[in-house]
Structure 1
Amino acid sequence: MAGRAVKPDNGRMTSTGGLSPATRQRLENELEQIREQRSALAARLGDDPLGDSADQAELLGRAEHASRLDQRIAEITDLLHGGPIPDSDSALPSGTQVTLKFADGSVEEMVVVGIAEEAGDDLSALTADSPLGKAIAGHKKGDKFTYRTPAGEASAEIVELKPPA
């Protein structure tokens, strides 16, 4: 299954590679469990209680839970099949290694991943769609940039930037 190319609805090719075998297996197991939960819940969604407002609230809660399950099914399916194609060609490809020097002088090595669990123990994970990942995109070694964090604006310099082999 890994490395197989698929054609999403928009007709452009994406790759299913990039996930470790352990992560791929975990995602496939989670997807199977969620689909089972969704199937069991679907049978109860058609129940139209004629009872009081508590019964109506329970039905609404089941519908909201089904919606969350559907969203997670879509997320996992995207991860297993290469995910949606980024809107921008400047997005960092998965597997890119970057070394950053932050304003406080600390230096950190990171790897761009589809999901945080893919980084392994040696490097910190960085997703391309995170504020830091978006800020690095389009820059090169030696560039300084700023990005937003929950604590406010931060800055860093790219010490090293290695695209995947």
Structure 2
Amino acid sequence: MTGGPEPVDADARKELEKELAELRAERDSVAATLRDGGGDQTGDRADQADELMRADEADRLNGRIREIEGRLEEASVAAPPAAGTVGVGSSVTVRFEDGTESTVRIAELADALDPGLVTGDSPLGKALLGRGAGDTVTYETPEGRATATVVSVG
């Protein structure tokens, strides 16, 4: 990203808060099935394996919860990008190596129904963040390294 905290638009914040609530509920459900660790360990190996799987799932959920909480906390202190600088929420026109131009919107969360959306953590999104008109960026694609030039930032 730009090296500093990135803002989150209102729609993305709602989605992150919704996911956070769902993850917390799921974690509480999984945690309720775990033994306290010091209790009777008389179950067979299948019971012990199931317990380990639930503990791993609880760890995974806790990790994602921490990630979202950190992102929301970071966003709460972030200032919007400077005028003319690409940031989350910016609309950017880029010219690719083959001469085609495309306008994309930098967003926090992916949306399969919006082909003009690029997430800030995608290769192109990362390359564009913090850049301005006239800057050329390099990023990785499945076909190899590619470059694009920022035409304008809206």
- TM-score, normalization: structure 2? 0.70
Question: Which secondary structure does the structure 2 equivalent of 1:116 belong to?
Answer: coil
What amino acid does structure 2 have at the position aligned with 1:57?
Answer: A
Unaligned runs of 5+ in 2: none
Matched, 1:101 2:95: yes
CA displacement, residues 104-139 of structure 1 (integer Å, 9 cap, x when unaligned): 33321112222224x985x72223333212222453
The answer to whether the Cα contact below 8 Å between 1:148 and 1:154 also exists between their aligned partners in 2 is yes
Question: C-alpha separation between the residues in 2 aligned to 1:151 and 1:85?
Answer: 37
**Structure 1 residues without counterparts, runs of 5 or longer:** 1-13
Counterpart among 115, 118, 123 of residue 109 in structure 2: 115
Q: 1:29 to 1:134 in 2, by over 3 A?
A: closer
Alignment match, 1:44: 33
**Contact 1:99–1:161, Cα closer than 8 Å, also in 2:** yes
Q: In the alignment, what sits opposite 1:4?
A: none
Deviates more, 1:73-82 or 1:54-63: 73-82
Q: Which residue of 2 aligns with 1:147?
A: 139
Matches within 5 A, 1:19-98: 19-20=10-11, 23-46=12-35, 49-83=41-75, 92-98=86-92
- CA shift, 1:62, in A, is 0.4
Displacement of 1:63 in angstroms is 1.0
CA distance in 1, matches of 2:16, 2:29: 20
Q: Distance in 1 between the 2:153 and 2:28 partners?
A: 45
CA distance in structure 2 between the aligned counterparts of 1:16 and 1:155, rounded to whole angstroms? 26
Root-mean-square deviation (CA), in Å? Answer: 3.4
CA distance in 2, matches of 1:83, 1:46: 36
Per mean C-alpha deviation after superposition, the further-off stretch among 64-73 and 128-137 is: 128-137
TM-score (norm 1): 0.66
Kindly provide the amino acid, as one letter, of the partner of residue 65 in structure 1. Answer: E
Between the aligned partners of 1:39 and 1:96, the Cα distance in structure 2 is 37
**Greater relative contact order, per chain length (Cα 8 Å cut-off, separation 6+):** 2
1:94 CA displacement: 1.6
Cα displacement (A) at 1:53: 2.8
1:18 alignment partner in structure 2: 9
> Structure 2: how far apart are the matches of 1:144 and 1:16?
23
